[in-house]
Amino acid sequence: MTSINVRVDGASYSDDVEPRTLLVHYLRETLGKVGTVVGCDTSNCGACTVHLDGEAVKSCTVFAVQADGSEITTIEGIAGGDGALHPVQKAFHEMHGLQCGYCTPGMIMASIDLLKENPSPSETEIREGIEGNLCRCTGYQNIVRAVQQAAGEMSGATGGQA
CB count within 10 Å of CB 14 equals 8
Q: Is 114 in the site for another protein (CB under 8 A)?
A: yes
Q: Amino acid identity, residue 136?
A: R
Q: Is 110 in the site for another protein (CB under 8 A)?
A: yes
C-beta closer to another protein: residue 144 or 154: 144
Spatial distance between the Cα atoms of 25 and 19, rounded to a whole number of angstroms:
12
Exposure class string for 111-135: b at 16+ Cβ within 10 A, else e = bbbbbeeeeebeeeebeebbebbbb
Spatial distance between the Cα atoms of 16 and 3, rounded to a whole number of angstroms:
4
C-beta closer to another protein: residue 46 or 159: 46
Taking the complex as a whole, how short is the minimal distance between the CB of residue 58 and another protein, in angstroms?
5
Q: Judge whether 8 and 36 are in contact, CB under 8 Å.
A: no
Taking the complex as a whole, how short is the minimal distance between the CB of residue 81 and another protein, in angstroms?
14
C-beta closer to another protein: residue 2 or 155: 2
| 88 membership: H or E segment, kind and range | helix 87-94
Residues 116 to 155: which contact another protein by CB under 8 A?
Answer: 123-124, 126-144
CA angle 78/132/15 to nearest 5° reads: 50
Taking the complex as a whole, how short is the minimal distance between the CB of residue 12 and another protein, in angstroms?
20
C-beta closer to another protein: residue 69 or 155: 69
C-beta closer to another protein: residue 19 or 119: 19
Residues 90 to 109: which contact another protein by CB under 8 A?
Answer: 92-94, 96, 98-105, 108
Residues 15 to 44: which contact another protein by CB under 8 A?
Answer: 18-20, 22, 25, 28, 33-44
